[in-house]
Amino acid sequence: MKTRIAEKFQSLFQTEGEFFASAGRINLIGEHTDYNGGFVFPGAIDKGMIAEIKLNGTATVRAFALDLDEYCEFGLNEEDAPSQGWARYIFGVCREIQKRGGVIAGFDTVFAGDVPLGAGMSSSAALESTFAFALNELFNLGIDKFELARIGQSTEHNYVGVKCGIMDQFASVFGKAGHLMRLDCRSMEFEYFPFAPDQNGYKVVLLNSCVKHELVGSPYNDRRNSCERVAKVLGQEFLRGATMEQLEAVKDQISEEDYLRARYVIGEEKRVLDVCEALQKGDYETVGARMYETHWGMSKDYEVSCEELDFLATVAKECGVTGSRIMGGGFGGCTINLVKEELYDNFIATAKAAFAEKYGHEPIEIPVVISDGARKLA
């Protein structure tokens, strides 16, 4: 990929730039906890974005998206916003840096990525983080890493129209090879935890169902509202820190649906902490058990699964897979699987064959390795 980028950069701009990269991400456990003030547990992966960049001495950005074979030029003022969706990410990063007092100018860039689109691995966060990190370096802006993540998040909010949380950009910026990160979404404190499944006889693989169910209404907002209603009854801002005992005590004051939503979230907070403790002991069996609990909690209590994802989790269990669950918001997408190496080939073959027989197409296998986040490449 780097060679292809360099060749295109040379042909477009007749010069050479510097290379920067950032990563997509997985989230091992901790779904729908961010907006409840809870914990998430992501890691950067070995798939992401790479960009070659060179300052051009003008006030214009000249950008080429290699994967789309599209070129775009734009200025750095608010009225210069490009129409192409991919270019708005780069423009948004530039504008968010400027809003924070960063002085930047025009540059030339060619970029490409290998994050599978639509698989819930945050290709957009990888793109934002690549350019936020690069521009911070190239213009010596001195912006700290947390603010780089916030620049990516603000780009989504203000220039793409997605009101995302901070997890994706955080993972892309702070990613560290061989480690997952427990992020406290209330305090923004975080801690690295060693995660080297390959050194312990395991592999991590995503199975992309290639399914995305469109649901009528606003299912994410509905669930968030449920959580907020229960938190209010408990006298809290968020569900974070609530106990099952507290929930049971107010069960007659809330709807059955709100009760189930809150039961999932309160359980998920404990599962994240259990997984962190288990990893410190190298106890991957407990990690896997909690992953299955998360899946069925998301399926039965939070109701964000779908038939196809439940099927993949069931096949995983039948194949002896240590852990399997929905990854992401739900209603389609991927399962993330923690598999012993000796069971891996049989699991993949069985899952593909069984899924294809039932649904008419195979799920896509996406092996992942936990890697570094935003960085300059040699």
Do residues 254 and 230 touch, judged by C-beta distance below 8 A?
yes
| pLDDT recorded at residue 162 | 81
- Output the pTM of the full model: 0.88
- In 3D, which of 25, 8, 87, 362 has the Cα closest to residue 207? 362
DSSP notation for 206-258: EEEEEEE---SS-HHHHHHHHHHHHHHHTT-SSSTT--HHHHHHTGGGS-HHH
Which helix (H) or strand (E) element contains residue 293? helix 284-296
Residue type for 236, please? Q
Do residues 130 and 115 touch, judged by C-beta distance below 8 A?
no
Query: In whole angstroms, what is the distance from residue 252 CA to residue 373 CA?
Result: 46
Q: Where are the domains of the chain?
A: 2-194+372-377, 197-367
Choose the catalytic residue: 168, 252, 345, 372. 168
Do residues 180 and 41 touch, judged by C-beta distance below 8 A?
yes
Distances from the Cα of 33 to the Cαs of 40, 239, 261, 271, in angstroms? 7, 9, 11, 11
| pLDDT recorded at residue 230 | 98
Distances from the Cα of 14 to the Cαs of 7, 53, 68, 225, 377, in angstroms? 10, 13, 21, 54, 20
Question: Which of the residues in the chain have pLDDT under 70?
Answer: 117-118, 214-217
Distances from the Cα of 222 to the Cαs of 219, 254, 327, in angstroms? 5, 15, 19
Query: In whole angstroms, what is the distance from residue 353 CA to residue 359 CA?
Result: 10
| pLDDT recorded at residue 217 | 55
From the candidate CATH numbers 3.40.630.10, 3.40.50.300, 3.30.230.10, 3.40.50.150, the one assigned to the domain spanning 2-194+372-377: 3.30.230.10
**Is residue 371 exposed (0-12), middle (13-18) or buried (19+ Cβ within 10 Å)?**
buried
Hey, what are 119's tokens? 């698989």
184 catalytic residue (yes or no): no
Region 197-367: CATH code: 3.30.70.890
Angle between helices 256-280 and 284-296 (to 10 degrees): 170
